[in-house]
A and B are shown apart, each in its own frame.
Chain A
Amino acid sequence: MSRRSLDTAQAASLSPGNRAFWGAAALFILAVWLATRLVTNDYVFFAGYVVLQYILLSTAWNILGGYAGYVNFGTAAFFALGAYVSVALNKLWGPSLPVLILAGGLVSGGIGLAMGYLTLKLRGVFFSIATLALAIVMQAVITNWEYVGGASGAYVLRPRQGPLGGSYVEYLFFVMLVMACGAVALARSIERSAIGYGLAAIRDDELAAEASGVPTLKLKLLATVLSGGLMGMAGAPLPFYVTYLDPASGFNLAYAVNAIAMPLIGGTGSWIGPVIGAVLLTAVQETAMVTISSAANLLIVGLLLVAFVSLAPNGILGLVRDLRARGRR
């Protein structure tokens, strides 16, 4: 399997579709950058940051959850860990944002490796339960860690100016834009590589995959580290975005629910699914927050998640595919 899929993967990397993707990604970043030159209101960056953060989180979740079929309930733990690594390092010697992001990614990826090593040899449901418990433990650890503010939280000074000119919020927005695009590109290339085929084989029938020589544990660990690392990177800029971070908001269950709901609603099979889900759900929540209430907006996400997994297990992508198939007949 590995030889053939490697050939396919190499063929795919040279295909016109691939060049189109990279071209589109570069154009997208450029277009957004140009568009922001015209914007003077910081609200656009604040709102855009949240959308991009959720694209990053749901894409990260999907690398393990969608491709390998292992459900991670601990998104909030990996995400908040990245944020708190950032708080701690910033207090220690204040390195620049890219360094903080790298550190957050490394720590969260490392936790993913340790968790995965202990629980990934078993059925997926045990990994899921362990990630749920991990979020609670991490929150207890941070709550007891006085250096980063403990239970009462930490204040972080947001510089006024970004290093590229413009406000710091604008800079945060761009960093998140680049990370989100990078994560989507990574997910896309994994999907079309030997790794992606191996993960799909694990998802469909792990025993059969193991029997046909797929290195299942190695691949699952790799996916867990990448997924956890990206979540940590997504969290690292958070302290500068919110300027005040406490354990209850960093470890908010809403992050975990959104990170699961977005890919499942968009469609877990492809890199575009989490992107669709993230954009759609963030828009729905922003609207509900303004028009109804914040509790109702959580209710909407929960109900959408339950409805989609029960009625449309392949998400919006699956619905579109079914419609097309029906149209052709």
Chain B
Amino acid sequence: MDPFLELLLNAVVAGVLLGGFYAAVALGIAIGFGMLDIPNLAHPAFVVVGAFATWQLNSNFGLDPVLAGVLAAPAFFLLGLGLYRLYYLCFERRGENALQGLAFFFGILFVTEVVLVLTAGADYRSVSAPYIGPGWRLGAIDLPLRMLVPFGVSLAMILVLDRFLSGTFTGRAILAVSQDQLALRLMGVSPTRIKLLAFGLATGTAAVAGALLIIIQPVEPSIGREFIGRAFAVVVLGGMGSFAGMLLAAIMLGVTESVVSTLYDPSWAPAIALGFLLPTLAVRAGGLLGRRL
């Protein structure tokens, strides 16, 4: 095969796999911001905390990283419950959730990062697992397991949550909160309790996403910042809370970044998210597969 074509094909495949991982990071924001309207800027920082928790469990007890992430998820769920209680008491109940709430989450993001630096150090950490290193080969295409496993786990997590949201009473109540809180109240369901549960779930996904992150690349405390723009761009482009749209947008972003990194320079990759976000906001704020704002 033509070497340029081969390079391009590999970049596209790598981008699709990368996009699957971006969707795992964006999932918590799709629920928290897209459905509940809580602008949790600190979510990517929680993903990094998840990565460090995975690193601890992996290096101390030799746990498989994915398993470690899943085991850490309940603790993150509880953390999310606590954070939402605080947010609700201080902002939502008073009706001051715009400016103050954003600043609140920005402060949480910053505090999380600094606490990580103070407790775990500013060094890069990585995990070991049998699937980090080897890869499959399909003709001219490389499929490193280091990317393939996170892609699969991410899709599975999204699928499970999607089933939960559309198939159970509680899940449908979460979807209802995003559409009409008053109607939900009239049905005898407390929107606050539903939001509490949903925000806990959103934070829980950060543990798994963190495990995937540290499988893909070594992690240091401030790396979460690079994913804020990406994750929000993916959620907005995907249509605020639509999982299918989010996955599509994440894969588009992953492929674009991967192709640009391969053909030009990897240092441009973080800038692409804004190139996605700004035109979306300016032209079609409803996103690809979403309701109009």
Contact = CB atoms under 8 A, between A and B. Distances in A.
| A in complex with B | yes
Interface of A: 65, 69-71, 73, 115, 118-119, 122-126, 128-130, 132-134, 136-137, 139-141, 143-144, 151, 203, 253, 257, 260-261, 264, 268, 295-296, 298-299, 301-303, 305-306, 309-311, 313
Nearest to A261: B107
B120 to A, nearest CB: 12
B232 to A, nearest CB: 5
B194 interface: no
Given A122-B281, A310-B86, A253 B233 contact: no
Chain B interface helix/strand/loop/mixed? helix
Interface in B271-293: 271, 273-275, 277-279, 281-282, 285, 293
Classify the secondary structure of A's interface with B.
Answer: helix
Interface size range on B against A: 35 or more
Contacts of A295: 114, 117-118
Interface of B: 39, 41, 86, 90-91, 94, 96, 98-100, 102-104, 106-108, 110-111, 114-115, 117-118, 222, 225-226, 228-229, 232-233, 236, 265, 267-271, 273-275, 277-279, 281-282, 285, 293
B118 A136 contact: no
Most chain B beta-carbon contacts within 10 A, residue among A65, A253, A306: A306
Nearest to A143: B267
Contacts of A130: 274, 277-278, 281
A299 B111 contact: yes
Q: Which 10 A-B pairs have the closest CB atoms?
A: A133-B229, A305-B107, A306-B107, A302-B111, A140-B271, A302-B110, A310-B90, A133-B274, A137-B271, A118-B282
Nearest to A134: B274
Contacts of B265: 144
Contact of B107 (A122, A133, A302): A302
A129 B100 contact: no
B233 A133 contact: yes
Given A144-B265, A257-B106, A305-B110, A124 B98 contact: yes
